[in-house]
Amino acid sequence: SAVISQKPSRDICQRGTSLTIQCQVDSQVTMMFWYRQQPGQSLTLIATANQGSEATYESGFVIDKFPISRPNLTFSTLTVSNMSPEDSSIYLCSVGLGTYEQYFGPGTRLTVT
Amino acid sequence: AQSVTQPDIHITVSEGASLELRCNYSYGATPYLFWYVQSPGQGLQLLLKYFSGDTLVQGIKGFEAEFKRSQSSFNLRKPSVHWSDAAEYFCAVGAGGDYKLSFGAGTTVTVRA
Protein backbone atom coordinates (compact mmCIF):
# COMPACT_ATOMS: atom_id res chain seq x y z
CA SER A 1 0.00 0.00 0.00
CA ALA A 2 0.98 3.66 0.10
CA VAL A 3 0.37 6.62 2.37
CA ILE A 4 -0.84 9.67 0.51
CA SER A 5 -1.32 13.19 1.78
CA GLN A 6 -3.01 16.13 0.12
CA LYS A 7 -2.84 19.84 0.75
CA PRO A 8 -4.98 21.76 1.36
CA SER A 9 -7.64 19.56 2.92
CA ARG A 10 -10.27 22.15 2.09
CA ASP A 11 -10.52 25.65 0.74
CA ILE A 12 -13.05 28.28 -0.12
CA CYS A 13 -12.12 30.29 -3.19
CA GLN A 14 -13.59 33.12 -5.18
CA ARG A 15 -14.63 32.63 -8.78
CA GLY A 16 -11.98 33.53 -11.32
CA THR A 17 -9.09 32.52 -9.09
CA SER A 18 -6.93 29.39 -9.21
CA LEU A 19 -6.05 26.79 -6.61
CA THR A 20 -3.15 24.35 -6.65
CA ILE A 21 -3.61 21.05 -4.86
CA GLN A 22 -0.59 19.06 -3.77
CA CYS A 23 -0.34 15.29 -3.52
CA GLN A 24 2.57 13.65 -1.71
CA VAL A 25 3.27 9.91 -1.54
CA ASP A 26 5.49 8.13 0.96
CA SER A 27 7.12 5.95 -1.69
CA GLN A 28 8.12 6.20 -5.31
CA VAL A 29 5.32 5.39 -7.71
CA THR A 30 5.05 5.62 -11.46
CA MET A 31 1.34 6.12 -11.87
CA MET A 32 -0.67 8.86 -10.24
CA PHE A 33 -4.24 9.82 -10.99
CA TRP A 34 -6.42 12.84 -10.30
CA TYR A 35 -10.17 12.50 -9.79
CA ARG A 36 -13.07 14.85 -9.24
CA GLN A 37 -16.03 13.90 -7.07
CA GLN A 38 -18.90 16.31 -7.40
CA PRO A 39 -21.35 16.54 -4.50
CA GLY A 40 -23.21 13.29 -4.03
CA GLN A 41 -21.59 11.75 -7.09
CA SER A 42 -19.10 9.07 -7.93
CA LEU A 43 -15.51 9.62 -8.99
CA THR A 44 -14.60 10.94 -12.40
CA LEU A 45 -11.04 10.59 -13.64
CA ILE A 46 -9.52 13.90 -14.68
CA ALA A 47 -6.11 12.73 -15.83
CA THR A 48 -3.29 10.26 -15.44
CA ALA A 49 0.03 11.75 -14.38
CA ASN A 50 2.99 9.50 -14.97
CA GLN A 51 6.43 10.78 -14.12
CA GLY A 52 8.50 11.60 -17.15
CA SER A 53 5.61 12.22 -19.50
CA GLU A 54 2.86 14.73 -20.05
CA ALA A 55 -0.39 14.14 -18.21
CA THR A 56 -3.08 12.35 -20.17
CA TYR A 57 -6.49 13.97 -19.84
CA GLU A 58 -9.87 12.28 -20.03
CA SER A 59 -12.62 13.47 -22.31
CA GLY A 60 -14.11 16.68 -20.99
CA PHE A 61 -11.01 17.83 -19.15
CA VAL A 62 -8.37 20.10 -20.67
CA ILE A 63 -4.90 21.13 -19.66
CA ASP A 64 -5.68 24.83 -19.66
CA LYS A 65 -8.31 24.31 -16.98
CA PHE A 66 -6.56 21.57 -14.98
CA PRO A 67 -2.79 21.82 -15.46
CA ILE A 68 -0.89 19.02 -13.76
CA SER A 69 2.74 18.75 -12.78
CA ARG A 70 4.62 15.58 -11.90
CA PRO A 71 8.19 16.62 -11.09
CA ASN A 72 9.25 13.38 -9.40
CA LEU A 73 8.05 9.94 -8.35
CA THR A 74 6.54 11.06 -5.03
CA PHE A 75 4.78 14.32 -5.82
CA SER A 76 2.17 15.84 -8.11
CA THR A 77 0.06 18.96 -8.28
CA LEU A 78 -3.29 19.71 -9.85
CA THR A 79 -4.33 23.31 -10.48
CA VAL A 80 -7.94 24.26 -10.90
CA SER A 81 -7.83 27.42 -12.98
CA ASN A 82 -10.27 30.29 -13.45
CA MET A 83 -12.68 28.66 -11.05
CA SER A 84 -16.44 28.84 -11.18
CA PRO A 85 -19.02 27.49 -8.70
CA GLU A 86 -19.34 24.41 -10.92
CA ASP A 87 -15.80 23.47 -9.90
CA SER A 88 -16.93 22.96 -6.30
CA SER A 89 -16.02 19.34 -5.69
CA ILE A 90 -13.75 17.01 -3.84
CA TYR A 91 -10.50 16.47 -5.70
CA LEU A 92 -8.69 13.23 -5.01
CA CYS A 93 -5.31 11.96 -6.03
CA SER A 94 -4.45 8.30 -6.12
CA VAL A 95 -1.43 6.18 -6.87
CA GLY A 96 -1.38 3.05 -8.95
CA LEU A 97 0.64 0.08 -7.77
CA GLY A 98 0.16 -2.03 -10.86
CA THR A 99 -2.65 -4.48 -11.65
CA TYR A 100 -5.11 -1.58 -11.35
CA GLU A 101 -4.79 -1.39 -7.56
CA GLN A 102 -5.05 2.25 -6.47
CA TYR A 103 -4.68 3.99 -3.14
CA PHE A 104 -6.28 7.32 -2.50
CA GLY A 105 -5.42 10.47 -0.66
CA PRO A 106 -7.88 12.05 1.78
CA GLY A 107 -9.11 14.53 -0.80
CA THR A 108 -9.34 18.31 -1.09
CA ARG A 109 -12.78 19.78 -0.58
CA LEU A 110 -13.10 22.88 -2.75
CA THR A 111 -15.91 25.39 -2.54
CA VAL A 112 -16.06 28.18 -5.09
CA THR A 113 -18.16 31.23 -4.26
CA ALA B 1 -18.90 -0.03 -23.76
CA GLN B 2 -17.47 -0.84 -20.39
CA SER B 3 -19.72 -0.12 -17.43
CA VAL B 4 -20.09 -0.70 -13.71
CA THR B 5 -23.53 -0.78 -12.14
CA GLN B 6 -24.46 -0.55 -8.50
CA PRO B 7 -28.23 -1.02 -8.55
CA ASP B 8 -28.86 0.14 -4.99
CA ILE B 9 -28.46 3.85 -4.37
CA HIS B 10 -29.24 3.65 -0.67
CA ILE B 11 -29.50 0.76 1.79
CA THR B 12 -30.60 1.00 5.40
CA VAL B 13 -29.67 -1.85 7.69
CA SER B 14 -30.01 -2.45 11.40
CA GLU B 15 -26.90 -2.78 13.50
CA GLY B 16 -26.00 -6.44 13.79
CA ALA B 17 -27.86 -7.41 10.64
CA SER B 18 -26.21 -8.70 7.50
CA LEU B 19 -25.39 -6.48 4.54
CA GLU B 20 -25.06 -7.22 0.85
CA LEU B 21 -24.17 -4.63 -1.78
CA ARG B 22 -24.52 -5.47 -5.43
CA CYS B 23 -22.14 -4.72 -8.27
CA ASN B 24 -22.46 -5.75 -11.89
CA TYR B 25 -20.02 -5.02 -14.67
CA SER B 26 -19.94 -5.17 -18.41
CA TYR B 27 -16.51 -6.00 -19.83
CA GLY B 28 -15.24 -8.35 -22.49
CA ALA B 29 -12.90 -10.33 -20.26
CA THR B 30 -12.60 -10.91 -16.54
CA PRO B 31 -11.59 -7.57 -15.15
CA TYR B 32 -9.81 -6.61 -11.97
CA LEU B 33 -12.45 -5.92 -9.32
CA PHE B 34 -12.38 -3.73 -6.24
CA TRP B 35 -14.57 -2.45 -3.45
CA TYR B 36 -13.78 0.87 -1.78
CA VAL B 37 -15.40 2.59 1.18
CA GLN B 38 -15.63 6.32 1.74
CA SER B 39 -16.58 7.55 5.18
CA PRO B 40 -17.99 11.08 5.43
CA GLY B 41 -15.32 13.67 4.72
CA GLN B 42 -12.71 11.04 3.96
CA GLY B 43 -10.89 9.64 0.97
CA LEU B 44 -11.44 6.15 -0.40
CA GLN B 45 -10.17 3.10 1.44
CA LEU B 46 -9.62 -0.19 -0.35
CA LEU B 47 -11.74 -2.94 1.24
CA LEU B 48 -10.82 -5.84 -1.01
CA LYS B 49 -9.82 -6.86 -4.50
CA TYR B 50 -10.16 -9.74 -6.91
CA PHE B 51 -7.67 -10.53 -9.62
CA SER B 52 -7.96 -14.29 -10.12
CA GLY B 53 -8.20 -17.56 -8.23
CA ASP B 54 -10.61 -18.21 -5.39
CA THR B 55 -13.84 -16.41 -6.19
CA LEU B 56 -14.58 -15.60 -2.56
CA VAL B 57 -12.21 -12.93 -1.28
CA GLN B 58 -11.79 -11.63 2.21
CA GLY B 59 -11.10 -8.01 2.97
CA ILE B 60 -10.62 -5.66 5.85
CA LYS B 61 -13.23 -4.77 8.48
CA GLY B 62 -14.93 -8.17 8.16
CA PHE B 63 -16.05 -7.70 4.56
CA GLU B 64 -16.00 -10.36 1.87
CA ALA B 65 -16.97 -10.39 -1.80
CA GLU B 66 -17.83 -13.11 -4.26
CA PHE B 67 -17.00 -13.01 -7.95
CA LYS B 68 -19.54 -14.76 -10.16
CA ARG B 69 -18.42 -14.88 -13.74
CA SER B 70 -21.75 -16.20 -15.05
CA GLN B 71 -23.56 -13.21 -13.56
CA SER B 72 -20.81 -10.62 -14.14
CA SER B 73 -21.17 -9.71 -10.51
CA PHE B 74 -18.94 -8.91 -7.58
CA ASN B 75 -21.20 -8.50 -4.55
CA LEU B 76 -19.93 -7.29 -1.19
CA ARG B 77 -21.14 -8.83 2.05
CA LYS B 78 -20.77 -8.46 5.77
CA PRO B 79 -22.42 -10.84 8.21
CA SER B 80 -23.01 -8.32 10.99
CA VAL B 81 -22.77 -4.58 10.48
CA HIS B 82 -21.56 -2.07 13.01
CA TRP B 83 -22.61 1.56 13.26
CA SER B 84 -19.17 2.51 11.95
CA ASP B 85 -19.97 0.79 8.64
CA ALA B 86 -22.22 3.68 7.69
CA ALA B 87 -20.52 5.09 4.62
CA GLU B 88 -20.51 5.25 0.83
CA TYR B 89 -19.37 2.09 -0.94
CA PHE B 90 -17.96 2.06 -4.45
CA CYS B 91 -17.38 -0.86 -6.75
CA ALA B 92 -14.55 -0.32 -9.23
CA VAL B 93 -13.38 -2.23 -12.25
CA GLY B 94 -10.17 -2.19 -14.23
CA ALA B 95 -9.54 -3.72 -17.64
CA GLY B 96 -7.98 -2.97 -20.97
CA GLY B 97 -4.35 -2.51 -19.99
CA ASP B 98 -4.40 1.20 -19.15
CA TYR B 99 -4.49 0.78 -15.36
CA LYS B 100 -7.46 3.12 -15.04
CA LEU B 101 -10.46 2.31 -12.87
CA SER B 102 -14.12 2.78 -13.67
CA PHE B 103 -16.32 3.40 -10.65
CA GLY B 104 -19.93 2.59 -10.02
CA ALA B 105 -22.28 5.28 -8.83
CA GLY B 106 -21.93 4.18 -5.23
CA THR B 107 -24.26 2.83 -2.55
CA THR B 108 -24.92 4.78 0.62
CA VAL B 109 -25.27 2.57 3.67
CA THR B 110 -27.15 3.84 6.70
CA VAL B 111 -26.99 1.83 9.91
CA ARG B 112 -29.83 2.21 12.36
CA ALA B 113 -29.56 1.33 16.02
Query: What is the per-residue pLDDT across A39-95, written as a single tens digit (0 to 9) for each?
Result: 889 999 999 998 878 899 999 999 999 999 999 999 999 999 999 999 999 999 999
- Where b means 16+ CB within 10 Å and e means fewer, A54-83 reads ebebbeebeeebbbbebeebbebbbebbeb
Q: Which residue of B has its CA nearest to A46?
A: B100
Q: Is A27's pLDDT higher than 70?
A: yes
User: Could you report the per-residue pLDDT of B21-48, keeping only the tens digit for each?
Assistant: 999 999 877 789 999 999 988 889 999 9
Predicted confidence at residue B88, as pLDDT, reads: 96
Measured between beta carbons, which residues in chain B are less than 8 angstroms from residue A105?
A: 43
Nearest to A100 among B32, B42, B105 (CB): B32
Q: Is B96's pLDDT higher than 90?
A: no
Q: Is A98's pLDDT higher than 80?
A: no
Average pLDDT over residues B87-105: 91
Partners of A76 in the β-ladder: A23
Q: Is A2's pLDDT higher than 80?
A: yes
Q: Is B1's pLDDT higher than 70?
A: no
Q: Is A10 left (phi over 0), alpha (psi -120 to 50) or beta?
A: beta
CA of B99 to nearest chain A CA: how many angstroms apart? 5
Q: How many CB pairs under 8 A join A and B?
A: 52
Predicted confidence at residue B65, as pLDDT, reads: 98
A100 to B46: CB separation less than 8 angstroms, yes or no:
no
Average pLDDT over residues B81-106: 93
- Where b means 16+ CB within 10 Å and e means fewer, A84-109 reads eeebbbbbbbbbbbeebbbbbbbbbb
Nearest to B101 among A102, A107, A109 (CB): A102
Predicted confidence at residue B52, as pLDDT, reads: 87
Least confident segment among B7-11, B12-16, B34-38, B96-100: B96-100
User: Could you report the per-residue pLDDT of B43-86, keeping only the tens digit for each?
Assistant: 899 999 999 889 999 999 999 999 999 999 999 999 999 999 99
Residues 2 through 21 of chain A touching chain B, CB cutoff 8 Å: 4
CA distance A44 to A14: 23
